[in-house]
Amino acid sequence: MQSIEKLKFLTESQVRSIAQQFGTPVFVYSRERIEKSCDTALAFPNAYGLTVRYAMKANPNRTILEIMKRKGIQIDASSEYEARRALHYGFNPSEIMLTSQELAKGIKELVEKGVTFNACSLRQLEAFGNLFPGKEISIRFNPGLGSGHTKKTDVGGNTSSFGIWHEEISKVKEIVKKYDLKVFKVHTHIGSGSDPAVWKIVAQVSLDIAAQFPECRILNLGGGFKVGRMEDEKTTDLQVIGKPVIELFQEFAKKNGTKLHMEIEPGSFLMVNNGVILTAVDDIVSTGNKGYTFLKVDAGMDVNTRPALYAAKHPFVIVPKEGTHSGKTAEYVIVGHCCESGDLFTQAEGGGPITITTGEAKLGDYVVVEGAGAYCSSMSVKNYNSFPETAEVLVGLDDSFQLIRKRQNLEQIFQNEVSVSL
C-alpha cells in the first residue's frame, strides 16, 4: 500500500501561518535545508579539487541564487538569459558556464565579459572558433548512453540531441585545429535522476574523451543526481557514487599526467525537497460509485507543470485549516484549477487520472505539495487562464517568513500587450 506522506520541513502551524499571511497558492522554501544540500554537494568525493555549479534552471529565484553564492557555489546557465540573470544577481562572469541548446545570440558579449562557453554542437563550436580563434573552450559531449527517471528527462544516448555525439570526436578535432582552440574542459550531463551505476560508467567514458584533449584540465560530469520525492523513493548518496570516481581520476593522472579538476552541476539535488507549494482545497466533487473523488486545489499547471509534462509524482499532505486532523484517510484524484483536462496533479503516464491516498480533506484545508523546490516555479505554464505568477516565501534560519517574490498582479499580466486601433 502507498504510504501516507508527511510534511518534510514545515510544521502544521507554519503551514497555517504562511497561508494566512501570504495567501495561497504560495511556494515555500527552507533556507536551512538549501544550505545543508549545498554542504552535501560541496563534500562530493574528489581527487584533485571540486567546483559545484548550480543548474539554475531548477529554480532561478534571486534569493536562492544568493544563498548558493554565499556557499561558494557557481552557476550552470542553460540560456543566455539565465547567464545575464546570474550576472545581475552578482555572480562574476568567471563563475558562470553557459551550456545552451540554442546558440546564444549574445555569445560575443558574454564571452568577452568572461563567461565560459560550453559548445554543445559542431555548429556552436564552429561559431565560437570564428569569433574567438586561439581561445580556450569547454565542449559538451553526448557520451552515447544516458539515464533519466523518465524517457523525457534522459539527455544522453542516441535519442538525445544534447551535446556532440561521441563518435564525432574527429570532427571536433578538425574544428579545434582549424581555429587553434584550446579544449580546457570536457563536459557530459546525461539526464536527471541518473542511476549511480550508469554514472560511474559515464565518468569513465568522459575521462576517455578528456584523454583525447591534451590541454584538458577540468572534467565536468554534469548533474542528474536522483532525489526521492516520495517516501518509498531513494535519494542518491553522493558519497557512495563519488568514491569510485576518485580512483578513476587518479588512474587518469597516472596515465595522462593531468590531475583533472572535477565539476558537478546539481539542480534537483540542491532544491527538490527544500521547497513546497502550499495550496488550499477549493472544491471536492465526485463522479459516482464507479468514478472518482476529485480534490480541486487552488493551484494547477500554471504553478507546477511537471505532472502534466512527465506524469511526475509529488507527495501531498493534508493540513486541516483548523484543529487537528481526524486521522481518517481517503482516496482522491488531485486536480489543478486550470480549464484543461490535462491539469491533473495525480496523473497516469500517458495521461488520465490516478488516485492517491491522503488524509481526509475538507473545503479550505491546506494541501502541501512536497518535492516542489526544483522545476516547478521555474518551469510552470505561467499565466495560463490568466492566473498570476505565484508568490515565493523563504523560511529563514530563525524560522521567520520572508517574501522573496511577490505574487504577480493583473497589470503585470497585460503590461506588454499593445493596444492598437482596429
Q: Which residues bind ligand PLP (CB under 6 A)?
A: 55, 57-58, 76, 78, 99, 189, 192, 222-225, 265-269
The distance of closest approach from Cβ of residue 257 to ligand PLP in the complex, given in angstroms and rounded to an integer, is 28
Between 51 and 99, CB nearer to ligand PLP: 99
The distance of closest approach from Cβ of residue 268 to ligand PLP in the complex, given in angstroms and rounded to an integer, is 4
The distance of closest approach from Cβ of residue 57 to ligand PLP in the complex, given in angstroms and rounded to an integer, is 6
Between 80 and 265, CB nearer to ligand PLP: 265
Buried b (16+ CB within 10 A) or exposed e, 238-247: beebbeebee
How far apart CA 352 and CA 72 sit, in angstroms, is: 43
How far apart CA 209 and CA 239 sit, in angstroms, is: 24
The distance of closest approach from Cβ of residue 411 to ligand PLP in the complex, given in angstroms and rounded to an integer, is 33
Between 224 and 320, CB nearer to ligand PLP: 224
CA distances to 257, 290, 294, 329, 334 from 318, rounded to whole Å, are: 57, 24, 14, 10, 12
Between 25 and 373, CB nearer to ligand PLP: 373
The distance of closest approach from Cβ of residue 189 to ligand PLP in the complex, given in angstroms and rounded to an integer, is 4
The distance of closest approach from Cβ of residue 222 to ligand PLP in the complex, given in angstroms and rounded to an integer, is 5
The closest of 277, 320, 370 to 8, measured between CA atoms, is 370
Between 267 and 307, CB nearer to ligand PLP: 267
Sign of the dihedral defined by the CA atoms of residues 32, 99, 228, 404, in that order: positive
Between 146 and 224, CB nearer to ligand PLP: 224
DSSP letter string, 147-170: --SSGGGB-SSTT--SSEEGGGHH
Cell numbers 532525489: residue: 227
How far apart CA 393 and CA 405 sit, in angstroms, is: 7
Nine-digit cell string for 34: 538549501
The distance of closest approach from Cβ of residue 267 to ligand PLP in the complex, given in angstroms and rounded to an integer, is 3
Cell numbers 599526467: residue: 257
The closest of 67, 107, 152, 53 to 404, measured between CA atoms, is 67
Between 103 and 284, CB nearer to ligand PLP: 103
How buried is residue 1: exposed, middle or buried, by Cβ count under 10 Å (0-12/13-18/19+)? Answer: exposed
